[in-house]
Amino acid sequence: MTRTLMDSSLRETSEPLEGLREALLSEEGLQRISRLVTIGELALSFSHEVKSPLSVLLGCAYMMGQSLAKDDPIRIQLDDITRSGMRMKGMTESILNFGRKRKTTRERCDVKGLIEEALCFVAPYFEEFHKPPIEVRVSVSSRCPNIAVDRWQMIHVLVNLLNNAADAMARSRTRVIQISAQRQDRNAVRISVSDTGSGIPPEVAGRVFAPFFTTKGEHGNGLGLCIVHRTIERHGGTVAAQTGEAGTVFTISLPTQ
């Protein structure tokens, strides 16, 4: 049994879409936003400061390894250090890229390229924090047209959905994320992100796009899907979720013009 949750469901909850401003500007909302801003600033500062010493460590490990035989036990350990260091470098670069100020501009973007860039951002997170590893399957139709979007905003949307999908499978034996994109009709493109998690509980399913609502407890801030919804809406599109015991599918529809 599956349940489909359209973006219009926000208007049917205790925190309707027209109440988003009030929710964000409430005392609790402002406090949470303040904490998130502080955490973001600390993360950017840490990522910036750690880049230089991390590069030195990677360089030293590489130089030491080159002076040893390939089957030398010490070189094998140095190679492990290098691989782990490269994952850390990828994570810091992702944080810095997201933190950079950019002008809001729309451009014609290749959907497959957007998906690949989003996957580059989440790959270190998947590898470092999700065991056993997550299998990601990508299917983009050759007939899928380009879309006119703000590139970084759309990458942020995809990263949010991918991270949510990964977190939803924390207790699943089978961990598969499927991303597909195809022409929906003459004027629209459909992008879907699905997981093999346990689905969203029916009693809270209608609130998934509401601000500050989260099923992750202390590990979530309740803004990810709200931001996804608002971003897609600003682009003239829609987002819906279909959930059940076999997992959840988020489907985005975006105009090609």
- Give the model's pLDDT for residue 16: 44
Q: Domain for residue 202, yes or no? A: yes
**Residue 22 above 80 pLDDT?**
no
Q: Which phi and psi angles does 78 have, rounded to 5°?
A: -65, -35
Q: Domain for residue 158, yes or no? A: yes
Q: Domain for residue 81, yes or no? A: no
Q: Tens digit of pLDDT for each residue in 78-134? A: 888 887 787 677 767 766 766 666 666 889 999 999 999 899 888 877 876 667 788
- Give the model's pLDDT for residue 13: 39
CA distance 78 to 65: 6
Percentage, residues of the chain above pLDDT 90: 26
CATH of residue 141: 3.30.565.10
Q: What is the pTM of this model?
A: 0.66
Q: Tens digit of pLDDT for each residue in 193-237? A: 999 998 887 777 777 777 766 666 555 556 778 888 888 998 999
Q: Which amino acid is at 78?
A: L
Q: Domain for residue 115, yes or no? A: yes
Q: Domain for residue 172, yes or no? A: yes
CA distance 96 to 126: 18
Give whole-number Cα distances, 243 to 97, 202, 204, 206, in Å: 32, 9, 11, 11
CA distance 85 to 58: 6
Please, are residues 189 and 147 in contact by the beta-carbon 8 Å criterion?
A: yes
Q: Domain for residue 192, yes or no? A: yes
**Residue 27 above 90 pLDDT?**
no
Q: Domain for residue 223, yes or no? A: yes
pLDDT grade, residue 14 (50/70/90)? very low
CA distance 206 to 100: 34
**Residue 251 above 80 pLDDT?**
yes
Percentage, residues of the chain above pLDDT 70: 73
> Which structural domain, as residue segments, surrounds residue 202?
2-15+107-255
Number of domains in the chain: 1
Please, are residues 36 and 221 in contact by the beta-carbon 8 Å criterion?
A: yes
Q: What is the mean pLDDT of residues 247-254?
A: 94
